[in-house]
Structure 1
Amino acid sequence: MRFDGGARVALAWLLVLAAPSTALAGPPFLTDDPEPTETGHWEIYGPLVEVEGRGPDYGGATGVEINHGAAPDLQLTVGIPVAFAHDDAGQRWGMGDLEVSAKYRFYHDDAAGLSVAAFPGLTLPTASNGMGNGKVTALLPVWVQKDAGPWSAFGGGGYAINPGPGNRDYWTGGVAVTRQVSSQLLLGGEVDRQGTDSVGGRASTSLGLGGIWQLPAPFRLLASGGPTFVDGDGAAGFHAFVALGLDF
């Protein structure tokens, strides 16, 4: 499929406006899990880069995500992004929308290896240079995880509140399977589905492979990526994420 100049600009802006909902997912996967940061500890991902698009038309964000185990089974998260977009008109940068969320694990059974958590989040209209939604948006998901030895399966999803001209609310969710290959390496794959987030838009399905490589403490490297398929469009796009993690 070929895009004229106007369609390229529209696609690039659509990617930027969609970025906040993606950023609320659990690094490095689009799909989140119900495991909160350990009480009293911090998990920081930064610098991080996440991007999605098709060919030379892409958008995303770079910045930092800060997670804190504020209480037993409670994680507070703040994401501070700098957004970017690229198309035929060139590269554009600006502050992204501030992201705040709270993960609460309300069910945990060690013997069964089962956990369930809610992870509601908001994006606040702090963007500059037209790089954000301009409205408060929200994602209201529930995540479930089952552990069995070195294997973990997790997934779920929820409802995204996405106000603004031409936007619409939508459902989103996914499922992922990971394996702890060694004490240093975790690998996994996922399938993520997002409903139509704009008037006249289309739903999409993303496939991904990802991993976490434990570096000398307290650092780790996280990365994932794969194709994204828009319903009714045979040409695949892409998504990717890479970050340096710091745990203490």
Structure 2
Amino acid sequence: MAPNRLSKGALVYALVAAFISGNAWAGPPFLTDDPEPTDTGHWEIYAPLVEAEGRGADFEGSAGVELNYGAAPDLQITIGLPMAFSHDRGGWRRGAGDVAVSAKYRFYQDEAAGLSVAAFPGMTLPTASNGMGNGRVTALLPVWAQKDIGAWSIFGGGGYAINPGPGNRDHWEGGIAVARRIDPHLLIGVEADRKGADTIDGCSSTSLGLGGIYQLGGALRLLASGGPSFADGEGKAGFHGFLTLGMDF
């Protein structure tokens, strides 16, 4: 998954999968990413894409579009173009988000064993306005793996996040997910993700989630996920959510 899914790139969020041809579906809408690249010469587009995370009335997120292109065999290029937002006691703030750019390269695949592995390095560029971004180039350097067993898929991995800036700190993050294709139109999965503290005075957190992909017809599908998040040392749970339409051609 890119440094974040649009605003986090990683996190993940960048990301791809859900092929109509019957390949295992993974990646979006899950925080956990997968090693499956977009087919060579094809596009996957997620828009409108909306994601958010926070606790109670204090939350932040982004709305925008993610573009995935199969640039070569086993190679996918991803660009995330977000508009960022946040809400707290002071009200709403909006502005352009940091553009996310990443490249997924699947360097191992054993079709007979249903096993594949890919690197998915990415970075965010300081394109945000109104204080909605990091103000620096950030990066995520993850490796993702997937094992397919019939209608089931297990995928996950993680990597090191480079997060410069005053008060910020580098950290590790990753996750694991289990998904099952119920029928040709529906996939459902669960996941658990862990993220280290990204600020000097921050703390690590764990996110649990339930996600699904529903094929609407033709090249169009609906993707959604969400669940609770738990910061170490804090009793009250937060939340994360993701919703988008996907199309490939």
TM-score, length basis structure 1: 0.92
Q: Where do 1:187-202 residues align within 5 Å?
A: 187-202=188-203
Partner of 1:134: 135
Q: State how far apart, in whole Å, the 2-side matches of 1:236 and 1:167 are.
A: 23
Q: Where do 1:113-128 residues align within 5 Å?
A: 113-128=114-129
The answer (yes or no) to whether the contact 1:157–1:172 under 8 Å persists in 2 is yes
The answer (yes or no) to whether the contact 2:43–2:67 under 8 Å persists in 1 is yes
The answer (yes or no) to whether the contact 2:7–2:84 under 8 Å persists in 1 is no
Q: Does 1:24 align with 2:14?
A: yes
How far apart are 1:200 and its partner, in Å?
Answer: 1.1
Partner of 1:53: 54
Q: State how far apart, in whole Å, the 2-side matches of 1:18 and 1:185 are.
A: 27
What do the CA deviations read for 1:124-147 (whole angstroms, capped 9, x no partner)? 000000100000000000000000
The answer (yes or no) to whether the contact 1:159–1:171 under 8 Å persists in 2 is yes
What do the CA deviations read for 1:178-227 (whole angstroms, capped 9, x no partner)? 00000000000000000010011100000000000001111000000000
Q: Where do 1:1-248 residues align within 5 Å?
A: 19-22=8-11, 23-24=13-14, 26-248=27-249
Look up the SS of the partner of 2:201 in the other structure: coil
Q: State how far apart, in whole Å, the 2-side matches of 1:70 and 1:212 are.
A: 25
Give the length in aligned residue pairs: 232
The answer (yes or no) to whether the contact 2:10–2:31 under 8 Å persists in 1 is no
User: Does 19-28 or 55-64 show the bigger shift?
Assistant: 19-28
Look up the SS of the partner of 1:69 in the other structure: strand
Question: Which amino acid in the other structure matches residue 92 of structure 1?
Answer: R
- List runs of 5+ in structure 1 lacking aligned partners: 1-16
How far apart are 1:19 and its partner, in Å?
Answer: 3.3
Aligned in 2, Cα 1:112/1:104: closer, same or farther, shift over 3 Å?
same
Q: State how far apart, in whole Å, the 2-side matches of 1:220 and 1:244 are.
A: 6
The answer (yes or no) to whether the contact 2:186–2:215 under 8 Å persists in 1 is yes
- List runs of 5+ in structure 2 lacking aligned partners: 1-5, 16-26
Identity percentage of aligned residues:
70
Runs (4+) of structure 1 exceeding 4 A deviation are none
Question: Which amino acid in the other structure matches residue 222 of structure 1?
Answer: L
The answer (yes or no) to whether the contact 2:45–2:246 under 8 Å persists in 1 is yes
Which structure has greater helix proportion? 1
The answer (yes or no) to whether the contact 2:106–2:118 under 8 Å persists in 1 is yes
Look up the SS of the partner of 1:171 in the other structure: strand
Higher gyration radius (CA)? 1
Look up the SS of the partner of 1:167 in the other structure: coil
Q: State how far apart, in whole Å, the 2-side matches of 1:18 and 1:217 are.
A: 29
The answer (yes or no) to whether the contact 2:44–2:67 under 8 Å persists in 1 is yes
Question: Which amino acid in the other structure matches residue 8 of structure 2?
Answer: A
Question: Which amino acid in the other structure matches residue 141 of structure 1?
Answer: P
Q: State how far apart, in whole Å, the 2-side matches of 1:211 and 1:33 are.
A: 15
The answer (yes or no) to whether the contact 2:14–2:79 under 8 Å persists in 1 is no
The answer (yes or no) to whether the contact 1:27–1:222 under 8 Å persists in 2 is yes
